[in-house]
């Protein structure tokens, strides 16, 4: 941790919601004041919205899209990247990844990485309000919290499916940054008590 960057190594899991469209800009902002290093994993669906190449340009690091991807520094992404991260942020988090993690399903790179991660895991959901407020999703969100994960709820914004203002959008970056800083401080306090 440096004075400029509260978080040294942030791992970002990007899943397939329309909220992905703001992620390149958020990665730029994360690198400017929150995290010294940002490493990224993307789901198959996320690649339908934004390319790994785009996120690589913003993060400055190779973007992993499969459990079997390797780079010069990373041989087993779900282990190597989680071992060195100070925080793992799933942004945007879909109902799919929330359900997988809540139920211990590890069938892709991001869900497997969450299972392997010993650092704080933060979910920043973005989805249609019907999906967010569904009983199944709310149960899964409760389970995430019981497991010790952190969840920043979606915000008011613009729903692409209906082309109107609605709930379920990605929170503004300032809200995301404040939430991540608070989770990081809580984690530091926990470590200092040990």
Asked if the model's pLDDT at residue 17 lies above 50, the reply is yes
Neighbours of 51 (CB within 10 A): 15
Least confident of 11-20, 35-44, 67-76, 174-183: 67-76
CA proximity to 98, closest of 77, 73, 127? 127
Q: Determine the pLDDT at residue 165.
A: 79
Q: Determine the pLDDT at residue 192.
A: 81
Asked if the model's pLDDT at residue 5 lies above 90, the reply is no
Mean pLDDT over residues 171-191, rounded? Answer: 93
Q: Determine the pLDDT at residue 3.
A: 58
pTM above 0.75, yes or no: yes
Q: Is the dihedral of CA 60, 66, 72, 77 positive or negative?
A: positive
Asked if the model's pLDDT at residue 1 lies above 60, the reply is no
Mean pLDDT over residues 121-144, rounded? Answer: 96
Question: pLDDT, tens digit, for every residue of 41-81?
Answer: 999 999 999 999 999 999 999 999 999 888 888 888 899 99
DSSP 20-58: GGGHHHHHHHHHHHTEEEEEEEE-TTGGGTS-HHHHHHH
Q: Sorting pLDDT into bands at 50, 70 and 90, what band is 2?
A: very low
Least confident of 11-15, 102-106, 152-156: 152-156
Asked if the model's pLDDT at residue 159 lies above 80, the reply is no
Asked if the model's pLDDT at residue 111 lies above 80, the reply is yes
Class of domain 7-193: alpha beta
Asked if the model's pLDDT at residue 178 lies above 80, the reply is yes
Mean pLDDT over residues 22-40, rounded? Answer: 96
What residue spans define the domains of the chain? 7-193
d(CA 83, CA 105): 20
């Amino acid at each position: 941790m440096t004075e400029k960057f509260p978080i040294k190594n942030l791992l970002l899991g990007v899943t397939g919601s329309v909220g992905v469209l703001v992620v390149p800009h958020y990665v730029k902002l994360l690198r400017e004041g929150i995290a010294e290093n940002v490493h990224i994993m993307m789901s198959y669906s996320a690649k339908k919205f934004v390319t790994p190449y785009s996120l690589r340009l913003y993060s400055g690091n190779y973007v992993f899209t499969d459990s079997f991807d390797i780079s010069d520094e990373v041989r087993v992404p779900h282990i190597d990247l989680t071992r060195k991260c100070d925080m793992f942020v799933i942004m945007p988090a879909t109902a799919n990844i929330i359900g997988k993690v809540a139920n211990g399903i590890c069938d892709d790179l991001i869900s497997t990485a969450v299972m392997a991660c010993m650092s704080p895991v933060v979910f920043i959901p973005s989805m249609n309000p019907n999906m967010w407020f569904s009983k199944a999703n709310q149960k899964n969100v409760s389970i995430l919290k019981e497991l010790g994960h952190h969840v920043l709820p979606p915000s008011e914004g613009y729903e692409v499916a209906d082309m109107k203002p609605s709930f379920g959008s990605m929170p503004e970056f300032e809200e995301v940054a404040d939430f991540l800083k608070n989770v990081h401080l809580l984690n530091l306090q926990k470590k200092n008590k040990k």
